[in-house]
């Protein structure tokens, strides 16, 4: 029994393409979705509750004021995309240069990130990006993708067992399947999610009256931090160079929105 890796990848891609007919409104991209928004929200709320118990919450007044200020405006910009959301913005006292958003409108920002950003504009870029992951249901999509890959892997293993494929050959095929779906499917989708969140996050930030040009400025600072990074095709994120170039190209599209909304907040 000869099973070509290209055939397996084709099966996975076909599953992602033709199952779960949901579309990201801002980009028109079809996505595989095997779990409901309600399930996503329950998971997000539970995860945020656990994080608040395990992480130290900052009492820094200035840090909290900045995150609440920017968060409120971003939430207004998101508007009907997350209607009736009980937003919560929490600052965590940690050196991590990071932020996150979870389904249900729960957003965390680490003090390490606040030390790197030099303006509300840059913070809005990061928060808009993280919230865009939520509005685009990227978490649910990743879960659905993993379920699909695992399910097809089970069917493959059962089929080989029925065909009495030798254990050595069976393991070889399953390893090839795992590597192929990771490099050929899951990682490219992850990079797509990041680029999609960058684009939609710029819209959210500009719609809140924050300068979209701050995105490239922020990511240049992130890139300057250095550190060892894998080649782009083995990474969950686009390379810094790819990301900065894309953000610079996108920013002019949102300048009109930014200038209109900025006047509203002045």
Residues forming the active site: 130
What's the half-sphere exposure (Cβ side, CA atoms, 13 Å) at 15?
22
Q: Could you tell me the CA-to-CA distances from 175 to 140, 145, 162 in Å, in that order?
A: 25, 18, 19
Contact at 8 Å (CB) between 188 and 238? Answer: no
Distance, in Å, from the CA atom of 232 to the CA atom of 253, rounded to the nearest integer, reads 26
Q: Could you tell me the CA-to-CA distances from 138 to 6, 91, 102, 211, 230 in Å, in that order?
A: 26, 23, 10, 25, 22
DSSP 19: S
Distance, in Å, from the CA atom of 266 to the CA atom of 263, rounded to the nearest integer, reads 5
E strands present in the chain:
22-23, 30-31, 88-92, 99-102, 106-110
Contact at 8 Å (CB) between 137 and 82? Answer: no
Instruction: Report which of 129, 193, 186 is spatially closest to residue 152, judged by C-alpha positions.
Output: 186
């Amino acid at each position: 029994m000869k099973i070509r890796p290209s055939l397996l990848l084709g099966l996975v891609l076909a599953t992602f393409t033709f199952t779960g007919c949901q579309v990201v409104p801002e980009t028109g991209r079809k996505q595989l979705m095997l779990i409901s928004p309600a399930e996503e929200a329950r998971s997000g709320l539970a995860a945020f509750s656990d994080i608040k118990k395990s992480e130290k919450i900052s009492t820094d007044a200035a840090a909290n004021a900045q995150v609440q200020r920017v968060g409120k405006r971003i939430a207004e910009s998101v508007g009907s995309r997350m209607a009736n959301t009980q937003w919560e913005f929490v600052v965590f006292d940690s050196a991590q240069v990071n932020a996150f958003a979870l389904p249900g409108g729960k957003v965390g920002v680490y003090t390490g990130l606040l030390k790197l950003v030099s303006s509300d504009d840059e913070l809005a870029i990061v928060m808009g990006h993280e919230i865009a992951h939520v509005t685009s249901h990227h978490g649910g999509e990743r879960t659905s993708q993993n379920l699909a890959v695992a399910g097809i892997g089970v069917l493959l293993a059962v089929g080989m067992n029925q065909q009495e494929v030798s254990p050595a050959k069976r393991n070889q095929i399953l390893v090839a399947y795992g590597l192929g779906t990771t490099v050929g499917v899951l990682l490219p989708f992850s990079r797509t999610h990041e680029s999609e969140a960058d684009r939609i996050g710029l819209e959210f930030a500009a719609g809140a009256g924050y300068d979209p040009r701050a995105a490239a400025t922020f990511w240049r600072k992130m890139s300057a931090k250095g550190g060892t990074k894998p080649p782009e095709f083995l990474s969950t994120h686009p390379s810094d160079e790819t990301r900065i170039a894309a953000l610079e190209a996108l920013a002019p599209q949102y300048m009109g929105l930014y200038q209109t909304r900025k006047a509203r907040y002045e």
